[in-house]
Structure 1
C-alpha cells in the first residue's frame, strides 16, 4: 500500500502510459534492430576484415615465394625462347605470338590463384555472417583489396623481365604502356576468378566449370581467329573477352611506331610496316583508348557480378 502511494510508483505509471501512447517508438526500435543485426559499424567491419586478410596472406610466405618464382621462371623461359626477335617476316609471327602469351599466361596463372578464395572459407563466412559479425560487402571488398598489391607486383615483374629479353619496341612509353596493360589483364583475370569462385562453395565444381567458361573468351582474342571471321552468333562473346581488348592494345602498342620491316629474298607477300601488321589482324590503331576503358569495365563488372552471386548464396542459405 505504501508503494502504491509513493512518487516512485507514480513515475513508473507515467512511463508505462507514455510508451503505450507512443507505440511507434518501440516499433522503430524493433525495426532498427531487425535491419542492423551487425555488432560493429561498416568501417569497423571493413578495417578488421582487411587486417585479417593481410595477416592471412602474410602467414603463407611460401605461397608468395612460389608464385614469385613461378613468374620469374616462366618469364625467363619465354624470354630465352623468343630472345631478341628481329623485325622481319618471321619476327612478326613470333612477336604477335608472344604478345598473346602475355595475356594467356597472366590469365591462367592468376585466375587459378584466386579461384578457391571464396570456396575455402565458405562455411566460416556463412557462420560468421549469420552470427552478425560482418556484412557480405565488407568481407568481399576486404578479400580483394588485400590481394591487389600482389596482383600488381606479379605482372610488373613478368613484363620487366620478358619485354627486354624479347626485344620489343624500344621505347620507355611503349614499355610502361605494355606493363600497364599486363597489370590490367591480370586484374581482369582475377576478377573473373572471384566471380567464378562465388558461384559455389565446392572447389571441385568451380574448377570443373572454369575451363569451359574461359575457353571461348580466349578464342575470341583475335589470335586463333581473325576478329572479322567470328560467326555472327558468337560476336557477343568478344565483348566479354579481355583477351580481345588486351591483345589488340598490346599489338597497337608494339607495331604502331614501326615504319620498316625486313622482307627477305624469298617472300612474295611482304608486310613492310607495323600498320600492315595491324591490318592483317584487323586491329584498329584508334582503338587503344577504347580497349583500355573496356578492360577497366570488365574488372569492375566481373567483381560486381561476383558480389551479387555471393550475396545471392547468403540469401538462399538464410
Structure 2
C-alpha cells in the first residue's frame, strides 16, 4: 500500500518480521532493486542473515539507543576489528563495553564525516521552534482516486452484506406490518385519522432508520486518517465515496422498496403521479435525515454518544412535525423550531399529495334521519395550517434539499478539519 503513491523515501519497520528465510530474502531483493532505481529506503532490522546484510549500502548500529556506528555497511567489520579491548575492559560488564564502543565511534573518521555532512545540510535552513504546517500531496487525479475508493467501498458492502440485507429486510417487514394495520383506508372520518397516522409514521420512520449511518465515519476513522496523511486520496474523495454508497444502497433502494409495499397496501391515492411524489418525498426525508446524522457523527469517536444526540434531536423534530401538536397554537418563541424539523417537511409534502382532491363522507343519524356529511381534504389541510398550493407542496422538497446540502457541507468540513496529525 505504501508503494501506491510512489514515495521518494520509504521507511520500513522490520519488514522481514514473521517471514521465512526465503521470503525475507525475496522482499529485501525487491527493495534493493527499488533502491537501485533511485528510491531511498530506510529500514530497521534485527539479526539479518548475511545474504540480506550484504544488500545494505549504509548501516547504522545502535546499542541501548546510542549510536556505535554509521557508515558504509561493507566496511563495518573492518571498523570493529580495529578496536582493541584490553583484558580489563573485557572483564567489565556489558555496559562498560557499550560505553567503549560509543566513545570509539565519537572519535572515528565516520563520525566526523557525518557531523560535517549534517552541518552542510542544515546550513542556511530555518529550524525555528515554530511547527511547520503539513501539506499532503497526491500522485493521482481526483477521478482516479474516486474510482478506486468508491470501488473498494462497494466491494466492502458486497463482502459484508449483512447491513444492507438487514436494512432491506427490516423495511419490508415494517412495511407489511404497518400496511396490514392501515390496510385499505376508507374515505371517511376514520380514513382521515388513519391516513394521518400512517403518513406520520412513515415520515418519522424514515428519520429513525437513518441512525445506522452514524457509524459510517466512526468505525473507519483511524484507517481514513492514516490513508489521507499518507497521500492516498483527498478528503473529498473519501467523503463522496462513503456518502454515495450509503445513500444509494442503504437509503434509496430500501426507501423505494418500502414505499412500493406500504403505499398500495394502505390504499393511498391510486395515481401514478401521486405515488411518485410520495416516493420522492420519502426519499428526500431519508436523505436529509442521513445527512444530519452524518453531520453530527463525523467528528465523534464513539457511536453510542452520536446515537444519543441523534435520537434526542429526532424526537424533538417529531414534536414539531405537525401531528402531535397543532403548530399554529405553539408560542412564537418556540414556533420557529418547526423550520428545523425534517419530518415536518416530509409529512407536509405527503399530506398535500394525499389529501388534495379527496372527499371524505360519513353517514350520520340526526333525529332519525340519516344524512350524508362530507368534507374535503383541502378543508382538513386548512385546519392543520398546511399550505396545499403547488408552491406549498414543492417548498417542502426544496427545504429538504437545502437541509441535505447544508448538513453534507458540515460533514465535509468536519472531516476536513478533524485532527489528523499528532
Distance 1:41 1:261 in 2: 60
Kindly indicate whether residue 218 of structure 2 is the aligned counterpart of residue 115 of structure 1: no
CA shift in 2, pair 1:230/1:305, >3 Å: farther
Higher relative contact order, chain-length normalized (CA < 8 Å, sep 6+): 1
CA RMSD of aligned residues (A): 2.0
SS of structure 2 residue aligned to 1:73: helix
Aligned equivalent of 1:217: 317
SS of structure 1 residue aligned to 2:363: coil
Distance 2:229 2:239 in 1: 15
Q: What is the CA-CA distance between 1:64 and the residue it aligns to? A: 2.0
Determine if contact 1:68/1:154 at 8 Å carries over to the other structure.
Answer: yes
CA shift in 2, pair 1:236/1:45, >3 Å: farther
Kindly indicate whether residue 342 of structure 2 is the aligned counterpart of residue 239 of structure 1: no
CA shift in 2, pair 1:278/1:266, >3 Å: farther
Q: What is the CA-CA distance between 1:140 and the residue it aligns to? A: 0.7
Distance 2:338 2:154 in 1: 35
Gaps of 5+ in 1: 1-32
Determine if contact 1:271/1:277 at 8 Å carries over to the other structure.
Answer: no
Scaled by the length of structure 2, what TM-score is found? 0.63
Scaled by the length of structure 1, what TM-score is found? 0.83
Residue correspondences, number: 282
Deviations 1:51-80 (Å, cap 9, x if unpaired)?
Answer: 111111111123222211111100000011
CA shift in 2, pair 1:266/1:197, >3 Å: farther
Distance 1:215 1:235 in 2: 16
Q: What is the CA-CA distance between 1:149 and the residue it aligns to? A: 2.2
Point out the structure with max Rg over C-alpha.
Answer: 2
Runs of 4+ in structure 1 over 3 Å off? 33-36
SS of structure 2 residue aligned to 1:263: strand
Write the mapping of 1:278-293 to structure 2, written as runs, cut at 5 A: 278-286=381-389, 287-293=392-398
Write the mapping of 1:202-213 to structure 2, written as runs, cut at 5 A: 202-213=302-313
CA shift in 2, pair 1:266/1:211, >3 Å: farther
CA shift in 2, pair 1:34/1:194, >3 Å: closer
Write the mapping of 1:126-165 to structure 2, written as runs, cut at 5 A: 126-150=225-249, 151-165=251-265
Gaps of 5+ in 2: 1-132
